[in-house]
Amino acid sequence: MTALDLDFVRHQFPGLSSDWAFMDNAGGSQVLRRVADRMHEHLLNAAVQTGASYAPSQETTRRVSAAREAFARFMNCDPGEIILGPSTTILLRFLSEAMTGRLQPGDEIILTNVDHEANIGPWLKHAARGIVVKWWRCDPQTFELDLEELKRLMTPKTKLVCVTHASNILGTINPIADIADIVHEGKAELCVDAVAYAPHRAIDVKALGADYYVFSVYKVFGPHFAVMAGSRDKLLELDNIYHYFFDKSRVPHKLEPGNASYEAAYGSIGSVDYVEELGKRAGAGAGRPAIEAGFDAIAEQEEVLTRRLMDFLTSRNSVRIIGRRSTDIADRVSTVSFTVGAESSKRIVQAVDEAKVGIRYGDFYARRIVEEHGLGATEGVVRVSMVHYNTEAEVDRLIAALEPNL
């Protein structure tokens, strides 16, 4: 048994009253009622700009500050190190632009071929200025990234390494703290895309050692919104990408051109509160301990679901798991991808649609790993991405739909 009360959990998500079983959560999770209620209340009762002296404006300012405080608690950092924005893709483009003054011709950036394009495309643009891009490629059989290969790629000219915390196709959890040690020993910085990790495990940016760490809140039960944590000393060195009269010391605002969505920022607090409540219900105190306990319960529930699905898939000779077969909490999140011989992944997913189980096929914007490893021939992979509100009964429903098609 897990520490989660699934009746309580599922009651928090109005969308789960649908006839559909949602297992495409890596594309975007269902939204908490409390998040929608916060956004509704803000839009109807507090829709004014921040920064003025009159009371309603001060209240909006307080609400945006409260969002920074909530995500600082969520990620274990300082509120002044939290950057808010519309999506991880946009925040990484902002970061790339803000790093322009610090990257000179001949400097090196290391990218992986397992990342979502959000953490590749913005950095490739610097090649036109003479920045050297080097590729840290996964093993073609295991899809694993080798830390010894990263060490070989590092040189005194390496300024930045970009990597995903968990692959949105493989589900593999990468050892970010170990990677950070290698990167920092080489006097470089580390940028981590945590979109596929953040809904599944507690985040501690201090322990991880990442210089920049980004994820999207709409994958973590909230609105279309994103958060980046950056160590303050690094943020201060970045270029201002807002109006010319913002100097480099204006962190975080110099990295939020156009300002963040106030209603989304305020609504997103509900996602943090929810995980904290799960931890309290599991017996933890308030604040950071409750967030960690909440994610412990989440991880335990997801491991049960992943094991149930993986046991079925690995029993079928026609199925190739793309990534690790392990279901251990330390090894992977509950995102499982596979192919079925030379069968079209599209055909398999469309067959499952008829059972009202929402999964997906394709490359999920991690196109390089699909192209480089011949997975395009099957129209990409079949991806099942579960979160803690999914149930064993839903997994069984998925298995029943998959079985005649494998």
How many Cβ atoms sit within 10 Å of the Cβ of residue 179? 22
- Residue 336: what are its φ and ψ, rounded to 5°? -125, 125
pLDDT digits (tens, 9 = 90+) for 51-86: 999 999 999 999 999 999 999 999 999 999 999 999
pLDDT at 103 over 70: yes
Cα 51 to Cα 232: distance, rounded to the nearest angstrom: 22
Whose tokens are 């040690």? That residue is 181
Token duo for residue 106:
């001949």
**Domain locations along the chain:** 6-30+296-401, 36-271
Same fold, 6-30+296-401 and 36-271: no
CATH number of 6-30+296-401: 3.90.1150.10
pLDDT at 263 over 80: yes
Q: Give residue 294's identity as a one-letter amino acid code.
A: G
Helical packing angle, 33-45 and 262-281, nearest 10°:
150
pLDDT at 1 over 50: no
The model's pTM: 0.97
Tell the CATH topology of 36-271. Aspartate Aminotransferase; domain 2 (3.40.640)
- Based on the number of CB atoms within 10 Å of its own CB, is 204 exposed (0-12), middle (13-18) or buried (19 or more)? middle
